[in-house]
Structure 1
Amino acid sequence: MFIRNESFESFIKSYKVITSLVAIHIFFYIWIYWFPFLGGAEIRYLGIGNNIMISMGEYWRLVTPIFLHGGLMHMAFNSFSLVLFGPALESLLGWKRFLAAYLATGILANIAYYFLGNPLVSHLGASGAVFGLFGIYVYMVVFRKDLINRMNSQLIMTIVVLGVIMTFINPGINILAHLFGLISGAVLAPLILANVRFHHHQTHVHAPGDIGFDPNRWAKRANRKQRYLIYSIAGFIGMILFFYLVSTFLL
């Protein structure tokens, strides 16, 4: 479910929203930090979240921070999280519903910061929307077990717990955006997952090397318990390394 083994071309073809979002992240990072003299500085100024400016009518700042980041590691980590955890949901929900969920949770996280956050502190980043995806998964683990199996449930809950812990440990993290992104995803999940059934996606035929939203795909192969253990350990170690990088380099 969270193991990426498709080719680059196959990934782009299968997950158009995620590919587009990551491309936007990279595009604005390069523009803002490599070419500030060609309008990048102005883009950052106009797009960053700022409660004072929002109160003066610049409501686009509730949306634009979702696509901007505070540096290379910030952008890379959010993009990596999106590539790792987004495909299963985009496949399950379809691109329109997935994009709506992503934007809605990110915007709600920024609205929460507008009402509860420090008006003197600006903010930017896709973390609120990424945590919104986690919130949807948490709802699936608790209430929609037909959409996710036990192994993946344990993995996603471990990642969520680690993410929340690191939110409070790392300096410079927008705690409110992370928490309310997570909450928004869980609250919106009943609407987002309405009429979604796993069997709708079981008949999709994938090319060799592709991966689809099939929680039981490894159960169809030999030595599935050993495979589960290996992938779980690898995924856990990978996330620990990325959280370490974030705690070390993320501003």
Structure 2
Amino acid sequence: MILYLFKKKYRGNFSNKGDMDYMFAIRENLIKFIKNYPVTILIFIVSSIIAIGIILFFESYKNAIIVFGGLDKELIEKGEIWRFLTYAFGHMSLFHFLLNMPLILILSRPLERYYGSIFFSLIYMALSISSGIFIYYFYQGSYPLAGSSGAGYGLIGMFTFFVLKYPNKISSYDKRFILILLVLGIIFTLYTPDISISGHLGGFISGFVLAFFISILNKNQNKVSFYHI
């Protein structure tokens, strides 16, 4: 709905009309979408399988989250460090899954298009792990935890950097959309009970810093468009 309203209001209001499009608009059919964004699809499929598995085979979300690789401080201290990554594919509830997955689908596509599928997969894993590390050291609530929101906030952090670094390469529509996501994300993080503020903040910081370092190491990135494959 937000995408539709902004698209209607800011139609044609681009810095370079001929070169720009709506970055977050989904226009591909299903076959082309799968072909162009295999990593985004894989994230969605793995998370969906886990969500369905929890609903069908577990009575307790807590036990299910542990089985499916949730982030648990005691188990990590016992050597199960893979949980810094695997927790990002499970969710604390069906509502949590339904809340996070649209965000991941919307935000992952432009970055997978921009960086390429292989490099984007490394970025997504790095954001998930870094968010998990922030949770491990700073979260004081109950465990286990699961969810892709840390990585999602990491993606928002990357887009925030892009808006500041490459303002002329991003349409006014997309700048506003990113700003709305950022503001809603802050409100949601601060006012939702029992949420992992450290995971969200850690993800955002990691995404912003990661985008900064990639821009330094890869000078050719300045020549790449956010809007075309």
TM-score range, shorter chain: 0.7 to 0.9
- Partner of residue 195 from structure 1, selected from 200, 215, 219: 219
**Aligned residue type for 1:161:** V
Q: Tell whether the 8 Å contact from 1:132 to 1:184 is kept in structure 2 after alignment.
A: yes
What residue in structure 1 maps to residue 93 of structure 2? 71
Task: List aligned pairs for 1:159-238, cutoff 5 A.
Answer: 159-193=181-215, 194-197=218-221, 199-201=223-225, 213-214=227-228
The residue number in structure 1 matching 2:82 is: 60
Are the aligned partners of 2:40 and 2:108 in contact in 1 as well (CA < 8 Å)? yes
**1:20 is matched with which residue?**
42
Structure 2 length-normalised TM: 0.81
8 A Cα contact 2:127 2:154, kept in partner: yes
Which deviates more, 27-36 or 113-122?
A: 113-122
What is the DSSP-based 3-state SS (H/G/I as helix, E as strand, rest coil) of the residue aligned with 1:108? helix
Following superposition, the deviation at residue 89 of structure 1 comes to 0.9
Cα distance in 2 for residues equivalent to 1:32 and 1:180 = 27
**Alpha-carbon distance between aligned partners in 2 of 1:41 and 1:110, rounded to the nearest angstrom:** 18
Q: 2:154 aligned to 132, 136, 146, which one?
A: 132
The offset of 1:35, in angstroms, is 2.0
Structure 1 pair 70–28 and aligned structure 2 pair: CA distance change class (3 A): same
Amino acid at match of 2:189: T
Equivalent position amino acid for 1:58 in 2: E
- Match for 1:71: what amino acid? S
Cα distance in 2 between the residues matched to 1:9 and 1:101: 24
Q: Is the 8 A contact 2:65 2:146 kept in 1?
A: no
Taking a change above 3 Å as real, the CA distance of residues 98 and 187 of structure 1, as seen in their structure-2 partners, is same
Distance apart, 1:199 and its partner CA: 4.5
Structure 2: 5+ residue stretches without partners: 1-22
How far did 1:23 drift?
Answer: 0.4
Q: CA separation in 1, counterparts of 2:141 and 2:94?
A: 25
Distance 1:119 1:74 in 2: 17
Return the offset for 1:144. Answer: 2.4
How far residue 21 of structure 1 moved from its aligned partner, in angstroms, is 0.5
8 A Cα contact 1:51 1:114, kept in partner: yes
Q: How far does the alpha carbon of each residue in 1:101-158 deviate from its partner, in whole angstroms, 9 at most, with x for none?
A: 1111111111011111126432110100111111100110111225423331122012
Match of 2:166 in 1: 144
Deviation at 1:200, TM superposition (A): 4.2
Corresponding residue number in structure 2 for 1:45: 66
Calculate the aligned-residue CA RMSD, in Å.
2.1
| Distance (Å, rounded) in 1 between the aligned partners of 2:214 and 2:102 | 23
Structure 1 gaps, min length 5: 202-211, 215-251
CA distance in 1, matches of 2:174, 2:220: 18
Total equivalences in the alignment: 202
Alignment of 1:7 with 2:29, yes or no, is yes
Runs of 4+ with deviation above 6 angstroms:
none
Matches of 1:7 and 1:196 in 2, distance apart?
A: 30
SS where residue 82 of structure 2 aligns?
helix
